[in-house]
């Protein structure tokens, strides 16, 4: 079955894993999803990620280790929300001075620019605009 929006699928799997309290989420891998996971790790929203290849098949699996704070009973996730902004039916672009601030800087916007996938903060610093993929807070 063909998936029309793999990034939305990734965000939904992470959101469901956070809501269920899982520590590890497995996602079908791609270069775009790996770039998004790198940004989430760099910004401190996830602990770690790895790319594992299956033995019999050639497809990759991206395993994301979710990050929690607090003790066992009072454990809360670092990620409190994920939202897909640009969708296949409606692409959303922002110029360098129109990149949104998420929760006054507590969250991040992830953009696809001409120099690759980067956070909104990095895109502002580089002076680049692009397609707003998602918001994370």
Q: Which domains does the chain have, with CATH numbers?
A: 6-136 (3.30.1490.10)
Provide the H-helix boundaries in 5-73.
6-20, 31-42
Strand partners, 84: 134
**pLDDT of the residue at 59:** 85
Positions in the chain short of pLDDT 50 = none
Provide the H-helix boundaries in the chain.
6-20, 31-42, 120-126
**pLDDT of the residue at 117:** 98
- pTM of the predicted model, to two decimals? 0.93
**pLDDT of the residue at 54:** 72
Length in residues, the chain: 137
- pLDDT tens figures, 109-124: 999 999 999 999 999 9
């Amino acid at each position: 079955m063909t998936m029309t929006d793999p990034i939305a699928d990734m965000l939904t799997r992470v959101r469901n894993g956070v809501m269920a309290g899982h520590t590890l989420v497995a996602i079908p891998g791609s270069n775009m999803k790996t770039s998004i996971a790198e940004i989430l790790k760099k910004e401190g929203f996830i602990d770690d990620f790895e790319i594992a290849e299956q033995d019999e098949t050639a497809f990759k699996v991206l395993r994301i280790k979710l990050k929690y704070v607090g003790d066992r009973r009072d454990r809360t996730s670092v990620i409190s929300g994920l939202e897909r902004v640009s969708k296949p039916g409606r692409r959303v672009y922002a110029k360098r001075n129109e990149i949104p601030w998420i929760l006054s800087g507590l969250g991040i916007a992830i953009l696809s620019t001409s120099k690759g996938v980067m956070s909104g903060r990095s895109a502002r610093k580089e002076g680049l605009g692009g397609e707003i993929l998602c918001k994370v807070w």
